[in-house]
Amino acid sequence: MLHDVASDALIELGATITHHHAVGKSFRPWYDKEVDPLFRRVLAAAKTELDPNWMLNPGLFVDKPAGLKIVG
């Protein structure tokens, strides 16, 4: 797919193709390549605190933690 080839080429050249306002499910693979794992862990911790049931954009930026207990 042209989208995938172009996105891979941009990443290889050091460009960024994702931004927190424009990351959709189709860009998640490149977001995962660009974002430091520590950032994703911090984001997951903040999301768990602020959105304990992971109702807002579940799985868009970070995967829902395994064994998550739904609150309420």
Question: What is the pTM for the complete model shown?
Answer: 0.65
- Which pLDDT score, from 0 to 100, does residue 57 have? 80
- Which pLDDT score, from 0 to 100, does residue 50 have? 92
Can you give the residue ranges of every domain in the chain?
1-35, 36-72
In angstroms, the CA 12 to CA 14 distance is 5
Q: Give per-10-residue mean pLDDT for the chain (72 aa).
A: 86 78 74 86 90 84 79 70
Q: Angle at Cα 40 formed by Cα 22 and Cα 57, nearest 5°?
A: 50
